[in-house]
Amino acid sequence: MRKCNLRIIGIPEGVEKENGAENVLNEIIEENFLNLGIEREMCVEEAFRSPIFVNVKRPTARHIVVKMAKMKDKERILRAARQKKITYKGTTIRLSADFSTETLQARKDWSDIFKTLKDKNLQPRILCPAKISFRYEGEIKSFPDKQKLRDSVVTRPPLQDILTKCLIPEKRKKRE
């Protein structure tokens, strides 16, 4: 279960060998969050690099996945991480929630629509876990799946023109 998991992105390989991956999070908290009221010692169940194997063709370091004992701890850390730039020994890193593979795939399915909306300057956002949101005619529109977006686009011809190529059902794409 990934609800309590936190993903640390940008930590160089081998850093966790000195003190253990569990202590990396404590060092990040000590360096960045002490003045924000987050305790230094939070209950970490386990921490590890993901995936287990090292791909030499991949230019970036593997992520560290930290399993927290309490979901509230994870939420407080993520909330604080959104407010400021996070560093680890001078290197900028990112903290994010650890999503399941199904959620990651659902988020990836929005990529073509996201790019089209961004090109048209409609300020798109991928909301948690896998909804899309964008600004259209002064209002923020939010859709949980492509079918609801298709149904809404039918009533708005200018938006339909923008998203026609992205919203063609898969069966039609294969025929063309």
SS3 158: helix
CA-based torsion, 160, 164, 169, 175: positive or negative: positive
Per-residue pLDDT of the chain (176 residues; tens, 9 = 90+): 467 888 898 888 888 887 888 888 888 888 888 766 666 567 788 888 887 677 777 777 888 888 888 888 888 888 888 888 899 988 899 888 887 777 778 888 888 898 999 998 999 988 877 889 999 888 999 999 888 998 888 888 888 888 887 876 544 444 44
- Domain range annotation of the chain: 5-98, 103-175
If one looks up domain 5-98 in CATH, what number appears? 3.30.70.1820
Q: Could you give the C-alpha distances from 174 to 165, 168, 169, 170, 171, in angstroms and in order?
A: 13, 10, 9, 6, 5
Note the CATH architecture for domain 103-175. Answer: 2-Layer Sandwich (3.30)
